[in-house]
């Protein structure tokens, strides 16, 4: 399936980060390297998961600078997130505040998932977090890392494709913005299965995970491949190296045992937070 190319290419050097934060803490800078030790997590589905999932994530964000030197939030951190003009979703407040606090210490970037793609300029303007709704390429040392949540690549059923087109359409997004947020969230609670990814059927997820890996391995074997492809969405932890030095990573879901990954210039590791 054809994909929109990455909206932005973000990176920092340490001194440029410091400089940018000193002159204007609201805008991140693009330059060369985001960091050398990238933390990746996705699929916390906050709002639909137990309070402990949020508490653990806040603990992780607080300690993140001791684990890595930059962070990628790779989609579906929130079970629903939508950028209204003047209000923000209440259930995301604590984690958003913690992300803001962390952003003062290390670079943070975010890619939208099928549950929280509608970030618009909120993350960048209010939190200093580079945000891309579909995919992003970042530099970790000399290594290009392609980050994509993974929805739209793995669903075999036509209805999922229709849903992806609707939820990504500018007109649908503009109309949704006119719905009162309390009503909007009430509606989402009732139709969240339609956003996809709520299936817990093991064999469906297994097949989706295989399609994701195949997609990633095609990207790694294609023209000007990245050094690493990272995805979430299927909640299946995976680490493969189809070509020496080129890896596909899925950290698995934060909501399933607080999983995350660490990607460096030369390797990647699957981890769990305790
Ligand atoms: Mn997802």
pLDDT tens for residues 139-158? 999 899 999 999 887 776 77
| Residue 37 counted as domain residue | yes
Centre of ligand 1 to C-alpha 90, Å, is 21
Q: Which of 244, 248, 221, 220 is nearest to 234 (CA)?
A: 248
Centre of ligand 1 to C-alpha 14, Å, is 32
Centre of ligand 1 to C-alpha 195, Å, is 8
Centre of ligand 1 to C-alpha 212, Å, is 12
Taking 70 as the pLDDT cut, the residues of the chain under it are: 1-32, 156, 192-200
| Residue 196 counted as domain residue | yes
Centre of ligand 1 to C-alpha 9, Å, is 22
Please state, in angstroms and rounded to a whole number, the distance separating the CA atoms of residues 240 and 224.
Answer: 19
Centre of ligand 1 to C-alpha 235, Å, is 8
**For ligand 1, a single-atom ion, which residues have Cβ within 5 Å?**
76, 113-114, 197, 233
| Residue 3 counted as domain residue | no
The dihedral over CA atoms of 30, 119, 96, 131, expressed in degrees to the nearest 10, equals -20
| Residue 1 counted as domain residue | no
Centre of ligand 1 to C-alpha 43, Å, is 6
Please state, in angstroms and rounded to a whole number, the distance separating the CA atoms of residues 30 and 13.
Answer: 9
Centre of ligand 1 to C-alpha 115, Å, is 6
pLDDT at 239: 98
| Residue 112 counted as domain residue | yes
pLDDT at 2: 32
Please classify residue 54 by burial: count the beta carbons closer than 10 Å to its beta carbon, then call 0-12 exposed, 13-18 middle and 19+ buried: buried
| Residue 181 counted as domain residue | yes
* Structural domain count of the chain: 1
Please state, in angstroms and rounded to a whole number, the distance separating the CA atoms of residues 119 and 174.
Answer: 13
Please state, in angstroms and rounded to a whole number, the distance separating the CA atoms of residues 80 and 88.
Answer: 11
Centre of ligand 1 to C-alpha 26, Å, is 28
DSSP strand pairing (108-111 vs 70-73): parallel
Please state, in angstroms and rounded to a whole number, the distance separating the CA atoms of residues 159 and 69.
Answer: 40
Contact 187, 167 (CB under 8 A): no
Centre of ligand 1 to C-alpha 240, Å, is 20
Q: Which of 205, 165, 190 is nearest to 1 (CA)?
A: 165
pLDDT at 71: 97
Contact 10, 130 (CB under 8 A): yes
| Residue 2 counted as domain residue | no
The CATH number linked to 182 is: 3.60.21.10
* Domain containing residue 137: 9-272
| Residue 4 counted as domain residue | no
Q: Tell me: the pLDDT tens digits for 188-231? A: 888 766 665 455 678 888 889 999 999 999 999 988 899 999 99
Centre of ligand 1 to C-alpha 29, Å, is 28
pLDDT at 250: 98
């Amino acid at each position: 399936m054809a994909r929109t190319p990455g909206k932005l290419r973000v990176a920092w050097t340490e001194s440029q980060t410091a400089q940018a934060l000193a002159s204007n803490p609201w805008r991140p800078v693009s330059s060369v390297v985001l960091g050398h030790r990238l933390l990746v997590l996705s699929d916390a589905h906050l709002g639909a998961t137990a309070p402990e999932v949020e508490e653990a994530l806040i603990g992780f964000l607080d300690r993140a600078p001791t684990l890595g030197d930059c962070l990628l939030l790779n989609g579906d951190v929130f079970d629903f997130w939508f950028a209204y003009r003047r209000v923000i979703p209440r259930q995301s407040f604590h984690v958003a505040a913690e992300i803001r606090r962390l952003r003062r210490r290390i670079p943070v970037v975010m890619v939208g998932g099928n549950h929280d793609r509608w970030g618009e300029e909120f993350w960048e303007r209010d939190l200093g977090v580079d945000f891309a709704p579909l995919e992003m390429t970042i530099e970790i040392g000399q290594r290009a890392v392609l980050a994509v949540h993974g929805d739209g690549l793995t669903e075999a059923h036509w209805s999922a494709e229709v849903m992806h087109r609707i939820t990504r359409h500018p007109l649908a997004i503009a109309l949704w913005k006119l719905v009162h947020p309390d009503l909007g969230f009430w509606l989402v609670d009732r139709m969240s299965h339609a956003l996809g990814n709520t299936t817990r059927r093991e064999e469906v997820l297994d097949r989706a995970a295989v399609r994701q890996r195949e997609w990633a391995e095609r990207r790694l074997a294609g023209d000007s491949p990245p050094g690493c492809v990272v995805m979430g969405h299927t909640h299946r932890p995976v680490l493969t190296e189809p070509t020496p030095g080129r890896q596909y990573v899925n950290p698995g879901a934060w909501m399933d045992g607080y999983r995350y990954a660490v990607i460096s210039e030369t390797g990647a590791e699957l981890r769990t937070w305790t």
